[in-house]
Every structure is written in C-alpha cells, then in structure tokens.
Amino acid sequence: MKSKKIKKRVFDIIQIGEKEDLPSRIFDIGIAVVILLNILCMFLDTFESLAYIRPILHNVEMVTIVIFCVEYIVRIWTADLLYPQKTAMRARIRFLYSYEGIVDLLTVLPFFFLSGFVVFRMLRVVRILHLFRINSQYDSFRVITTVLYEKRNQLLSSIFIIIVLMLGSSLCMYSAENAVQPELFANAFSGIWWSVSTVLTVGYGDIYPVTVLGKCMAICIAFLGVGAVAIPTGIISAGFVERYTRETALSTEHLDVEEIGEVVITAGSPCCDRCIADIYKELNLKVYLVFRDNMSIIATNDLIVRENDLMIVQAVNIKK
C-alpha cells in the first residue's frame, strides 16, 4: 500500500502540475530548464570559435540526457496510472507508442545510436510544448491539434484547391514562357517552383515571366493565390477562436453553469477517467450524453469518461 502511494505521488509530480502542487510545478520548471540547457549546448556546439569549451558542452549534454532517460523510465513505470483502464503491461505498451512516449524516446535515442541524424535530436524541442498551457486544464498545442482534426475536411478541400491551382499555373506558365526561357521553363513540372512561390505569395524572384502573356497570367495567378491561401488560414483562425471561446466558457474549473452546456474532457480534468455516477455525486454535474469518436453514447452510471470526450451536462444542486 505504501509503495502504491509513493508511485501515485511520483505520477502526480511528473505530470503537468496544478499551481497549488509545488513539487509538481518545481519538476515542470526543472525539466523546462534542462530542455533549454540541452538545446543551448547543441546550439553553442555549432560555433567553431567556442571549440575550446566543447568538452564542457558535451558533459552538460550528457547530464541532461541522463535526466531525460530517468524521466523516461519513470514515465514507463507510472504508465498504469496514466491509463487506469488498462492492465499494467498494456498501459506501458500504450505509453511506448503514444505521441509523448515516441517523442521521449527520440529525445534520448539519437544521442546513443543516431548521432549522425541531427534532425532526430532536434525532436527534443517538441517536449517544451508539454510544459506551457493556456490555463491549468489544457494547452494551446492541444487546442490547435483539436481544431485541425475537427476542420480536417475543410482543410483538405482547400489544400486540394491550392494544389490544382499550382499545377494549372505551372502548365500555363510553361506554355507562355518555354519558347523564351527554355532553360527555366524546360517542362510543365519546372514551373512548379515558380507557381509555389507565387501562389503562396512568397515571390523569391529567381524565376519570373518575361512575356506579356506570361506577366498577365502571373498577375491573375498571384491574386488567386492570395485568396486560396486565405481559405485555410481563415478556417484555422475561426476554428481556434471557436474552440478557445467554448472551452474557456465551459472549463471544468467553472462548473457552476445553470443551463445545459458542453464540457470537453482534457487530460488532468476532474472528469477524466471517472464514471458518470462519480461525476454526478462529487462534481454536481448531470451528464446527459457523451460524444466519443463520432459516436453518441447514453450516459449510464457506469460509463467511464475518457480524454477528448465531449459531454452534454447540466449543473445541479444536490442537497446533502
């Protein structure tokens, strides 16, 4: 029993902590400092003028890698508390192939086996995203990924329009410029670089039309590019504002709503991994319906609420 309490306390500390939990907050800040120190060592190691301190930088990086390894092992050890609905072995396996587990592994693995692949070592930067939140219940990275998932159909449609526009503009520019600039517009595909820089409003100027017809088409394509790029930008911006406004208004920190509303379950929220009966008794929330993975589930007393679920709830006053 004592070992379970110690394990639970360790788990609470290594998770993103509440402001009231001082050890957890200290751990979060400490890991953030270690991550920044690790990145700083990698950054300074690229300067030839600082070659004389490279042994010190390598030693500091080694210490930070050891800290990452210890943290990774502890997270595997406490994975059964992160996924309480699974057995201990299945919970550990689930953590190993989860997003955080893979990022943690790629943070330390390249140092020992993939030193030549610098891009893998840079994945440790992603860890910093887990340490900053908009508030104590969810972080901006989670909100953005949720918006991208919810708006995926609209975004895919807008990206398809941009791709078609780039291919069409490349073909048109080849037809107009091939005779005058055969070295730059050798074939239809060679105009892709020009079309990408023009449609995406970058305009590097290394490839440009010189004929009157080509310039006229370039003007039209540039205007179309501004409108095409604005479509996914508007979708993402509107979706982010909508999600942020809804989660701010219906955050589980403010459960004193009088009318029926929506509550999005996030990791660490009071409702996460709790049954409907406990939510009703302890949080004074009456749950009517739960939306999960495009399915609507009737809120029975024994139903376990999971992360990313959307609950239709109403605050009630329970007389004790």
Residue type, 202: V
Distance from C-alpha of 282 to C-alpha of 300, rounded to nearest angstrom = 16
**What is the per-residue pLDDT for 136?**
40
What's the CATH number for 152-248? 1.10.287.70
- Please give the mean pLDDT across all residues of the chain: 78
pLDDT tens column, 25-71: 888 788 888 888 888 887 888 888 888 898 998 899 889 888 888 98
pLDDT on residue 56: 92
Query: Is the model's pLDDT at 119 over the cut of 50?
Result: yes
Task: Give me the pLDDT at residue 247, please.
Answer: 61
Note the pLDDT tens digit of each residue in 232-246. Answer: 888 888 887 777 666
Q: Which residues contact 164 (CB under 8 A, 6 or more apart)?
A: none
Residues of the chain with CATH 1.10.287.70: 152-248
List where CATH 3.30.70.1450 sits in the chain: 250-315
Architecture of domain 250-315: 2-Layer Sandwich (3.30)
Architecture of domain 2-132: Up-down Bundle (1.20)
Per the CB < 8 A criterion, the answer to whether 271 and 305 are in contact is yes
Q: How confident is the model at residue 131 (pLDDT cuts 50, 70, 90)?
A: low
Question: In this predicted structure, what is the pLDDT of residue 34?
Answer: 86
CATH 1.20.120 residue window(s) in the chain: 2-132
